[in-house]
Amino acid sequence: MLLRTLNQDGFSGYVSITGEKDAHNVGHILFREGSIIQAQQRAGGSYRRHKAALQEIVRGVAAGEGLIDAIEIPADLVDSVGGLVVANTIFLQLPSRIVDFDALVEFVEEKSLTGGILVTSGQDQVSVVLLTEGRAKGSYSSVNPDLTEGPGVAAAACAERDARIDVVAAPAGPAPVIELAEIG
């Protein structure tokens, strides 16, 4: 019922489902202007994407499992967030002290990556740069969740000597829209 309502209302953002009994059981459904463009689900050591993930999420919710949140975000950022959710790792755990962050941002711009640059610092604080076709659309952190224009929030986190940088990107090519009628 919720998915149909979000579809009819032209919702842009994501629905997050977290298992009540096991917080490691999670699912995300991404919407752009009412259309489901991606889904992913992790549970019991398995990982599903797209239609299979959505079917499993719907099955779990129908059985009364999970806590649901719907987070609205601008339509032009949905692909970036989707790149974080169903990401392929490009670079993993680069020490910030050996990385020229501005050059890294320039590199992802040249590669036209959609996804993000994640900087982990301090006590598991994470700063994120959202990327859409290589452009840094904005950045935020677990400490300051307000989206700030440009990569500055994550760049500042790189000042910590022990910070680590990950670059993730959405799988190449557009994922086909998942039609609600296809979900049993």
Based on the domain organization, do 124 and 68 belong to the same domain? no
Residue 117 lies in a domain: yes
Judged against a pLDDT cut of 90, whether residue 59 lies above it is answered with: no
- Report the pLDDT averaged over residues 16-38: 83
pTM value is 0.72
Residue 179 lies in a domain: no
User: Which two three-digit tokens encode residue 153?
Assistant: 């929030």
- Report pLDDT digits (tens) over 78-135: 878 877 777 788 999 999 999 999 999 999 999 988 889 999 987 778 999 999 888 9
pLDDT of res. 48: 84
Instruction: Print the SS3 string covering 70-96.
Output: EEECCHHHHHHHHHHHCCEEEEEEEEH
- Report the pLDDT averaged over residues 70-80: 84
- Report the pLDDT averaged over residues 135-161: 90
Helix, strand, coil % over all residues of the chain, rounded to 5: 30, 40, 35
Counting beta carbons within 10 angstroms of the beta carbon of residue 129, is it exposed (0 to 12), middle (13 to 18) or buried (19 or more)?
buried
User: In this structure, what is the dihedral angle of CA atoms 73, 77, 78, 81, given to the nearest 10 degrees?
Assistant: -100
Question: For residue 154, what are the domain limits?
Answer: 85-169
Judged against a pLDDT cut of 90, whether residue 66 lies above it is answered with: no
User: Which two three-digit tokens encode residue 170?
Assistant: 């959405």
Last residue of a domain, one of 72, 102, 129: 72
